[in-house]
Structures are given as C-alpha cells and as structure tokens.
Amino acid sequence: MCSDLSKVNLPISKANGLPNSHYIDEQVFQKEKECLLYDNWSGVAFEHDVVNPGDALPLNLLGFPLLIVRDYTNQICVYQNVCRHRGMILVEEKKNIRGTIRCPYHSWSYNLDGSLRATPHIGGPGYNHHKDLNKKSLRLKKIRSYVYLGVIFVNISDSAEPFEKTNCSLMSRWSEFNKPLFSCKNYSSFQLELKCNWKLAVENFCESYHLPWVHPELNVVSKLEDHYNIESKDQFSGQGSYHYTQISDNGRVFVDFENLSESWKTGAEYIALYPNVLLGVHRDHIFSVILQPISKDFTLERVNIFYASSRSINKDYSKLREDNFLFWKSVLSEDIFVVEGMQKGRYGKFFDGGRFSPAMDGPTHNFHGWVANQYSA
C-alpha cells in the first residue's frame, strides 16, 4: 500500500497529510511502532499508578512487556518484565512487592534495583550458586524512563536523546508548571476507547479549528479567535487560549500554582508531546492524557487531572472537582466521533492525505512532518 511521504513536508499551503496507509495498513503500523513509539519517549503510565514503595505494575506497549516499579527509595524504575533465566514474564498483575521480584517459574529473585539476588538450586539440588554463572551480569534489563507532568515516559529502544534534551523547549516554555502535582482517587481519572489509530487523536487534540462545531459549549467561553497555534518542529504542537476562565462553586475556585506569571491568569495551553501524550495546563490544574495504541485502529485514551495545590484535593473541593472532571470528560468525549469518523474516512482509497488550512492546521502539519521524518529516517 502507498506510503509516499514526499508531499507531507512541503510548505503547508502545498502539502498533503499522511497517506491512508499510515492509519489502516498493518505493516506501516508495525514500522511506526518501532520508529515512532519505541525509538522516542512514549508515555505509558501515570506516576500515581505506583504510589507506594514496592508497587509493581506490569503493562505492555504494543506487546513489549514492561514492569514499572517504585523502589524502596521512592524512585520509579522501569524494567523489561522478563526473567533472565528462561524468559518468563515476571509479574502478571499489579501488586505490592515485599522484598524481591520472584520469578514464578524457577524462583530466581531480583531486587527492586534490578540486580539478581537469588538463584535456588542453580548448581544442582541444594546449591544456589554455580561458578559459570555470574549473578552480577544477570540484572533485569532497565528501560530508560522519565517522569514529567505526572506521566511516566519510556524510551524502549534506548536510542533517544535524554528526555530533558529532547523536550527542552516544552520544559522551558512550561517551567512554571514543573512543580508538585496533586491528584486524588475521586473524579481525577477516566478512560475513553477510540476506534481509531492513535495518531488521529493527536491530530485532533493539537488544533482548535474544530471548536465551533465539535465543542459549541466550550466555544462560548473560549472562542476560536481567542486561540493561537503552537508549533515546535520535531517536538510538539498544539494550541493556546487567551481566555481560560476558572470554574467556581459558590465563589470557591481551585488554588493556583505558586508564582505564576500574569499571562497564565487567563491563559491555557494544550500541547501534544510527540509521540503519544497530550497535555493541558491552566493556572489551577493540568491534565495529562496517555494514548495507548492497542492496534492500528483501536486506542485507549487514559486521562488524569492534577491540581496545583494540596488544598484543591480536600473534601471541601469535591463538588468543584466533580464539575471539572465532568467538564473535561464531556469535552474529550465530544471528540470521539470525529477521530473515529476520520479513521473510517481512511478507507476511501481516493483520499490523498487531505489538504491543510495554512492558517489553522499548522500544528497538524507539524505532527505529520515529524511522523514522516521519523518514518523515513
């Protein structure tokens, strides 16, 4: 199937979007798995998925088995969830580990720092050592990870630049939000199922062009003309609004981040951090979205809301948190029919990737250019 990317990186007024094959073809999907998701910093879980020391969460990114662990020094570590002996999956279900990660097959056990601790009967019955096997050389394979805005990012292929280098411009743009975040069990997280390729959710999130028709209620408080495009080549793209209004419950509003600049009093920004994380920042809360690709045309969208102050997760704020949760859940749900509709549209074999509005679609064009560059590299 055609994967001609020659028109994707043309100037926006002449460019076409990614060909259909990037949404519906299994071979292209498998290649994108490697070059977009494994070779870059992909979001896989939230920091609070492993709250307590010893918490271990197994998950996989399109088949690659990962184990996320919070160790006893409170650091998050990510390992390949595979025993160094015969390749058994080490942890099948989320649990709290007391002591060591023990393989259920022949009981090799690993410390939470990944080192191999015990190898029962490895030298024959009753002998737990063997001269030819050096335990120090049999650590769990560590996967590079980094936590940013509550999201655990991993670079599976170990080929990306350090996270802070890759994402330096976003981290500096949003340095005022790089502070402790607060989240609670109630009304903080939800998950949506999207019958579409994960990239369509990125593309839809990063543009504001669709607001008047897909989010008419949002458009009343923050109109199309209140928005601006955000583009950073090969890193991220999105949109900002000059008109963020805090929700209120009888005059009560969420507590702000400390020491914010004046522009954030009414400003908000929504950015897709390539490949698969969507972020929104406001004076009093942020949200982070992890797009978890399941197949070429099915994606889980995990959303978590974080507050700027521990006060905002108190009981007194529960009504306000519920309202905020329902607001974002409804806004993000409004987008489902368009991302699923675009997926169906990719089976129209005469569709040429589409043309962009040079004024409105810059963020999407930026993302497509990144995909094309990664794919062709």
C-alpha to C-alpha distance for 150 and 182, rounded to whole angstroms: 9
Please tell me what DSSP assigns to residue 96: E
Select from 88, 89, 118, 147 the one that contacts ligand FES (CB under 6 A).
Answer: 88
Taking each helix axis from N to C terminus, what angle separates 336-345 and 318-334, rounded to the nearest 10 degrees?
A: 20
207 binds Fe ion (CB under 5 A): no
- Dihedral angle over CA of 57, 59, 64, 70, nearest 10: -20
Instruction: Kindly write out the interface string for residues 285-324 of this chain, putting x where it contacts Fe ion by CB under 5 A and - elsewhere.
Output: ----------------------------------------
- CB of 21 vs Fe ion, minimal distance in Å: 25
Q: Is 139 in the site for ligand FES (CB under 6 A)?
A: no
Output the smallest distance, CB 138 to ligand FES, in A. Answer: 11
**Nearer to Fe ion (CB atom), residue 206 or residue 308:** 206
| By CB under 6 A, residue 141 contacts ligand FES | no
φ and ψ at 198, to 5 degrees?
-60, -30
Q: How far is the CB of 118 from ligand FES (least distance, A)?
A: 10
User: Which helix H or strand E contains 301, and what residues bound it?
Assistant: strand 298-307
Non-local CB neighbours of 99 within 8 Å, separated by 6+ positions: 109
- Return the number of the residue (71 or 269) whose C-beta is nearest Fe ion: 269
Question: Quick one: which segment of 105-113, 266-274, 347-355, 368-376 binds ligand FES (CB under 6 A)?
Answer: 105-113
Element (H, E) at 142: strand 142-148
Residue 105 lies near ligand FES (rule: CB under 6 A): yes
Contact, 3 vs 368, CB < 8 A?
no
Residue 122 binds: one of Fe ion, ligand FES, none (C-beta under 5 to 8 A by kind): none
Tell me if 335 contacts Fe ion by CB under 5 A.
yes
Does residue number 200 form part of the binding site for ligand FES (CB under 6 A)?
no
36 DSSP assignment: I
Q: How many chain residues interact with ligand FES (CB under 6 A)?
A: 9
Among 2, 30, 86, 169, binds ligand FES (CB under 6 A): 86
Cα 139-140-144 angle, rounded to 5 deg: 115
How far is 147 from 76, CA to CA, in rounded Å? 8
* Binding stretches for ligand FES (CB under 6 A): 83, 85-86, 88, 103, 105-108
